[in-house]
Amino acid sequence: MSKAARSDTPSGRLTLLTLARDLGVSRATVSNAYNRPDQLSPALRARILARAAELGFTGPDPMARGLRRGRVGAVGVLVDESLSYAFSDPTSVLFLDGLAREVQADGLGLLLHPALRDPAALRALADAAVDAWVVQSLPDGHPAVGVVSSRGRPVVVVDQPALPGVPVVGIDDASGATTAVRHLTRLGHRRLAVLAMPLGCDRRQGRADTERQRSAEYAVMRRRLAGAAAAVAEADLDWADVPVVEVAANEPDAAARAAAELLTGPDRPTGVFASTDQLALGVVRAARDLGLAVPGDLSVVGFDDSPAARSAEPPLTTVAQPLRDRGQRVGVLVRAALRGEEVGVPAPAVVGLVVRSSTAPPPGARGRR
Amino acid sequence: MSKAARSDTPSGRLTLLTLARDLGVSRATVSNAYNRPDQLSPALRARILARAAELGFTGPDPMARGLRRGRVGAVGVLVDESLSYAFSDPTSVLFLDGLAREVQADGLGLLLHPALRDPAALRALADAAVDAWVVQSLPDGHPAVGVVSSRGRPVVVVDQPALPGVPVVGIDDASGATTAVRHLTRLGHRRLAVLAMPLGCDRRQGRADTERQRSAEYAVMRRRLAGAAAAVAEADLDWADVPVVEVAANEPDAAARAAAELLTGPDRPTGVFASTDQLALGVVRAARDLGLAVPGDLSVVGFDDSPAARSAEPPLTTVAQPLRDRGQRVGVLVRAALRGEEVGVPAPAVVGLVVRSSTAPPPGARGRR
DNA sequence: ACTATCGTCTGGATCGTTACAGAAACCACG
DNA sequence: CGTGGTTTCTGTAACGATCCAGACGATAGT
């Protein structure tokens, strides 16, 4: 009979039809053997599956099935620029892990695409076969976001950018930052500084004036800076006097270089709010290299509560956001949208400060509080 | 005319046909406007694209195109167990980055799937729409490997497992390990120990006897241990006397716990070969916690030359393998296979020792060499 | 004995696109 | 004015599956 099968399909490609002809049943029945076991007798199903294994047929073609059913089993993830950045940032890693675990339940994989700006890459995005898109923390107005959201598939945004009618899973960045900076001012710090991730795509670095802050392309940074500014004002200090230093990349190394400069001046800050833990780790390292004790000479507050913050030396005081949870929550929204449910925009999660050992009253202060 | 378009497709779904009817041209022409600009006049093409934008048509449906062309624009990556592991291991991160960069050139994305063993997950793998599969360092006989390789698409394996007729991108693990251990013995170390990643999927940990070593499911570990054994024999030592400790996970924390035990015994080793840098970092930390100086009291050699090895304190002596390059090489093979070229099995790359500051002669040795 | 119901299985239509062969129009040339 | 060669566009046939309405017996209810 395998002879018949061969001669029927000279091409040699194995399809449902091949198998159906070989067994003398209809295509629909073979299809049902794979997709709806209740639609045919167990005996016939067993016979079909056995013969399939014999012939080396491994099941229906994913693309054909995808076309017919309107599903491919993939959730697209649009990650910022290079994948290596997305992977090296622990924040991102935990997020992806949480997301992957959640969507796994429906047999979905993650299709990673970097959000590049050149036409070829944009075309590749438009052509990507996915059931839904997850946009992971991209700057406002990034062209790739437009491309994926115009495809008509469900979209879930993480953190940024805000899109009309699209659910965003995020946190209350502003109040988180306020809490962090307030912690410093309550400890008595009056000379503060802030470290920021890149505010735009122009790779600029160094001191960022208020204009630059307000026009930052990353909404998350805008919000965190605004939150920090609020706490500063609350303490009767002038935000314009607080140096905001933009770091070239969200990495400890880059932050350490930026911080070194900040910490060598005559009236160096006694308290630094680093807007991510990665940056905070760099500040701590820079301080150590300069012979400054943390928290004795310098207090450092981070943001995110990444695993590294916990195991750092000293353990970082930081704003805790539930990293893996976020991934899971995005996954839940994606699955719901794929089931056709109308998903609302969830409220941003509130975040709390975790006080560890990287903060203390400024040197010379007598524990005023 | 937009009225006509609407009434033609009551469903409201926008397809090539919708657009073609609206413009009074054939589907093929619209298709060509997207895929073969040279097949129609620039004027008509512009008209089509303009009207498409007006109507909100974002281009041909990826799945239908996938079915017709036999391509979906995705390279499947089979990663070990949880994605978080794949992401937290720097080795893996750099690999994926290199791979992604390379395949990007053809507009391909990476479809990540964890290699689970339950039937539902295996079914999801079989149903995944990909153009090719990359198997990233899985244990011998993992069922997921069988599933993806039986799909009839090109497969490229990284490191392990060896599959008949399938190209493997890997390194000469054995000679790398030999070099590493030889470095220790040449320095004069006689009391050695070895740390190994998990050797099987049974989550076992602790001392691994030679039987366990030989039957390790991970070929990479088998080879590295064999290489280490060769160097030990070369130095007239008995491999059976060298404790090989299996660590529960390839993470510094787990390694530190395992090492702590190893370093507290009466005749503790003076030289440790950690079979990955992650493990080596853990050993260094454990030593520091016990008040042992590295390399003064204890020499540690790693494997991989991950970024962390370079910036560690002290910088690690390690076996260097070109991590991002590997990803790129895999990408090149995948692209070639997708172009229909016959790809051969490349020879494993040779690796060299990078001597940094985590190794020195054993305490009490007078610089014999 | 005559429907009603159920469990199985089939045939044809359909998903939205691209490949391919060929038709129509146009140009230049002898 | 026919001839050959482009350029530009069209119609039809796949691609490989799933969905749906119904056919066909067999069983059961009345």
Give tens-digit pLDDT for A236-250. Answer: 999 999 999 999 999
Domain definitions of chain B by residue range: 2-60, 72-170+324-338, 173-321
Residue–nucleotide distance: A315 CA to C15 C1' (Å) = 57
- pLDDT number for residue A353: 97
Whole-angstrom distance, CA of residue A336 vs CA of residue A167: 12
Q: Domain B72-170+324-338, CATH 3.40.50.10860 — does that match?
A: no
- Does residue A179 lie within 7 Å of nucleic acid chain C, judged by its CB? no
Q: Is the CB of B204 under 7 A from strand C?
A: no
User: A12 falls in which pLDDT band (50, 70, 90)?
Assistant: low
**CB B74 to CB A107 under 8 A?**
no
Strand C bases near protein CB (under 7 Å) are: 7-12, 14-21
| Superfamily the domain A71-170+324-338 falls into | Response regulator (3.40.50.2300)
**What confidence score (pLDDT) does residue B189 get?**
98
Closest listed residue to residue A299, CA positions, set A271, A263, A273 = A271
Topology given in CATH for the domain delimited by B2-60: 434 Repressor (Amino-terminal Domain) (1.10.260)
Tokens of B51: 């009207």
**pLDDT confidence of residue A368:** 46
Q: How far is the CA of A42 from the C1' of D27 (A)?
A: 19
| Strand D positions closer than 7 A to protein CB | 7-12, 14-21
Q: Do A74 and B111 touch (CB under 8 A)?
A: yes
pLDDT at A311: 84
Tell me whether domains B2-60 and B72-170+324-338 share a fold: no
Contact B118, A137 (CB under 8 A): no
Q: Spell out, as residue ranges, where chain B has pLDDT lower than 70.
A: 1-12, 365-369
**CB distance A67–B64 less than 8 Å?**
yes
Given CATH 3.40.50.720, say whether it is the number of domain B173-321. Answer: no
Closest residue to C20 by CA to C1' distance? B28
Q: Integer distance in angstroms from CA A271 to C1' D29?
A: 86
Q: Judge whether residue A315 has pLDDT over 90.
A: yes
Secondary structure in 3-state letters for chain A? CHHHHHHHCCCCCCCHHHHHHHHCCCHHHHHHHHHCHHHCCHHHHHHHHHHHHHHCCCCCCHHHHHHHHCCCCEEEEEEECCHHHHHHCHHHHHHHHHHHHHHHCCCCEEEEEEECCCHHHHHHHHCCCCCEEEEECCCCCCHHHHHHHCCCCCEEEECCCCCCCCCEECECHHHHHHHHHHHHHHCCCCCEEEEECCCCCCCCCEECCHHHHHCCCCHHHHHHHHHHHHHHHHCCCCHHHCCEEECCCCCHHHHHHHHHHHHHCCCCCCEEEECCHHHHHHHHHHHHHCCCCCCCCCEEEEEECCHHHHHCCCCCEEEECCHHHHHHHHHHHHHHHHCCCCCCCCCCECCEEECCCCCCCCCCCCCCC
Is the confidence at residue A369, as pLDDT, over 60? no
B324 CB less than 7 Å from any atom of strand C = no
d(CA B154, CA B133): 6
- Å from B311 to nearest chain A CA? 10
Quote the mean pLDDT of chain A. Answer: 92
Q: Is the separation of the CB atoms in B191 and B270 below 8 Å?
A: yes
DSSP string, B289-342: HTT--TTTT-EEEEEE--HHHHHSSSPPEEEE--HHHHHHHHHHHHHHHHTT--
pLDDT score, position A324: 87
Q: What is the pLDDT of residue B175?
A: 97
According to the model, what pLDDT value does residue A346 have? 86
How many Cβ pairs closer than 8 A exist between chain A and B? 146
The pLDDT of residue A258 is above 70: yes
The reply to whether residue A82 touches residue B101, judged by beta carbons under 8 angstroms, is: yes
Predicted local confidence at residue B10, as pLDDT: 43
- Calculate how close chain B gets to A265, using CA atoms only, in Å: 27
pLDDT, one tens digit per residue, over A98-144 is 999 999 999 999 999 999 999 999 999 999 999 999 999 999 999 99
> From the CA of A261, how many Å to the C1' of D9?
66
Specify the CATH architecture of the domain A173-322: 3-Layer(aba) Sandwich (3.40)
